[in-house]
Amino acid sequence: RPPSDLVAPEITYHVPQAHPPPPHRTSALVRPHGPSAPPPKLLDRPLPMTITPVYPPKPPTILSQQALPPSRADRTIDKVVFGNICFRTWYPSYYGKEVLGDASASTGKGGSKDAGGKDQSGGKASSRKDREHHLVLERLHVCPSCFKYSKELVAWWGHVRMCERRAYVPGRKIYVHPRGRRKVLVPQGSKTPGGAKKRRGEGGVRYTEEIVQDDGEWSIWEVDGEKDGLFCQNLSLFAKLFLDNKSVFFDVTGFNYFLLVYTPPVVPPLEGTTDDHAPTPQITGFFSKEKMSWDNNNLACILVFPPWQRKGLGALLMGASYEISRREGILGGPEKPISDLGKKGYKRYWSGEIARWLLGLDLQDPNAGQEVLVDVNDCSQATWIHPDDCLLILRDMGVVEEAGMGPGKPEAKEQSKDAAGEQDEEAPPVGEEADKEIKVVSRVRVDKQAVRRYVSEHRINLERTCDAEGFVEGYAIKAPEVDDDEEEEN
């Protein structure tokens, strides 16, 4: 055999002997001793180990989601870029496939509403599939002038610059708000010097009243949904991102839209320049109204865009809707049901109108020395608020107390001009005939001090939100009807 290159390992055998115990090994988690410190003794009790737990870092996405307010699980667009402002959406969108792709069809299935304004699904909670549904589009770019939208930033920005140069608002201007000083709610931090301090356990952001001076012009423009159909459709699609119960997006021919527009003051051009273009108007909100409402609704939906909320602009739109109803001679109110956010705004507006009317009454008649009797109809006729809404607010304010039974107000009879002229010649009814018209009813007493406390606690502004003199002369005022006999005489 040829010799092998492999070498057998050398094996050494050791006889087992008694060895001293190995030195005590300290754990890796224990701080090691210094070089001058004596070694620990085995007979002493070992020192307790100090272990600091280290948790794995959480993903940054989870922290950002916890900081954001809760949102609907079926949202398809995260944020909108409205001019030079970017803010978050609240509710799912109804934009077409050119924006959302195939997800737009699934979104439209769950958005149908019945006559009562409720979802046909019965208001069930979102399914697991909906909760796991991710946002389709991170940002949607919307033109602040015409509300046209795009997913691409470059094409959208070129369109926005063109619209801003036009400085065009569709429709016609029907109202100009008088310039002056007004109160707005401004978020106030707890560390701001001179501001209101936040109490312990009080969540959310506190708001303080601040008086501001109007520099530009606030106006309301009326847009016909039949003439400017594309504009109203784009406006409705944009509004759906912030309204839960809006169901009209494309069939806008039966509605009029009233835009709240802010026009900044004209800035004089700099020396050596000829840039004298008109300032760009900014649409900050709107409300819509049916052209023919069988329920006498003076408002279908209302929205102030999120960047301009909490500035009293919603009350301005509400006041304008009631002033238009007064000019038309139609007593009505907003379309029911009202959203939760809309209820808060309307309760504040109604309570301010009713409180101003109550505090302006003279409860004592200086001539007769008796109390002045008023009823809900008087309140409704003075404020043009529906009697049902007046009763709702009076109960909510808690400013009335039971006053027992007593004679009510005599019913006012509606008479024609001829009948009124004939009655002027006759003597007014006296004696038993006049007593028969007065009925004994349950009465309540209004406490003026309670009204003032309610106004002070809720920080309600008693100034009129809408100036009746700011409307265009003759707007929404119907011409008096002329009889056929009078036309023949003329």
Domain 169-192+205-267+278-337+468-490, CATH among 3.40.50.720, 3.40.50.300, 2.60.120.20, 3.40.630.30? 3.40.630.30
Query: How, if at all, do strands 301-304 and 282-290 pair?
Result: antiparallel
As to burial, measured by CB atoms within 10 angstroms (0-12 exposed, 13-18 middle, 19+ buried), residue 140 is buried
Q: Is the pTM of this model over 0.75?
A: no
| Residues 433-448 as b or e (16 or more Cβ within 10 Å = b) | eeeeeeeeeebeebee
Q: Say what the pLDDT of residue 313 is.
A: 93
The DSSP annotation for 290-350 comes to: ESS-TT-EEESEEEE-GGG-SSSHHHHHHHHHHHHHHHHT---EEPSSPPHHHHHHHHHHH
Closest CA to 256 of 247, 244, 248: 248
Split the chain (490 residues) into runs of 10 and give each run's mean pLDDT: 56 56 51 48 54 44 38 78 93 78 49 37 42 69 94 90 91 89 66 48 64 80 95 94 81 94 81 70 95 92 93 94 94 89 92 93 59 85 94 89 73 51 49 61 83 92 91 84 58
Q: Is the separation of the CB atoms in 351 and 398 below 8 Å?
A: no
Q: Say what the pLDDT of residue 172 is.
A: 95
* Residue 489 annotated among the catalytic residues of the structure: no
**Catalytic, out of 98, 335, 371, 489:** 335
Other C-beta atoms closer than 10 Å to the C-beta of 22 total 6
SS3 410: coil
SS3 181: strand
> Crossing angle, helix 340-359 and helix 376-383, to 10 degrees?
100
Q: Say what the pLDDT of residue 57 is.
A: 44
Name the fold adopted by 345-410+440-459. Answer: Arc Repressor Mutant, subunit A (1.10.10)
d(CA 138, CA 123): 27
Q: Say what the pLDDT of residue 436 is.
A: 57
Domain extent listing, the chain: 75-107+129-166, 169-192+205-267+278-337+468-490, 345-410+440-459
Q: Say what the pLDDT of residue 56 is.
A: 45
As to burial, measured by CB atoms within 10 angstroms (0-12 exposed, 13-18 middle, 19+ buried), residue 460 is middle
d(CA 238, CA 232): 10
Q: Which long-range contacts (CB under 8 A, 24 or more apart) does 159-163 make?
A: 160/83
| Cis before 337? omega within 30 | yes
Task: Tell me the C-alpha to C-alpha distance, in Å, between residue 485 and each of 418, 422, 457, 488.
Answer: 14, 20, 58, 5
Name the β-bridge partners of 298: none
Name the fold adopted by 75-107+129-166. Answer: Wheat Germ Agglutinin (Isolectin 2); domain 1 (3.30.60)
SS3 string, 46-107, reads CCCCCCCCCCCCCCHHHHHHHHCCCCCCCCCEEEEEECCEEEECCCCCCCCHHHHCCHHHHH
Count of CA atoms in the C-beta half-sphere (13 A) of 187:
6
Strand residue runs (E) in 189-254: 206-213, 217-224
Q: Say what the pLDDT of residue 59 is.
A: 39
The type of residue at 218 is W
What are the residues whose beta carbons fall under 8 Å from the beta carbon of 405, sequence distance 6 or more? 440, 441, 442, 443
Helix (H) or strand (E) holding 405: strand 400-407
Query: Residue written as tokens 């304010």?
Result: 397
Q: Say what the pLDDT of residue 15 is.
A: 54
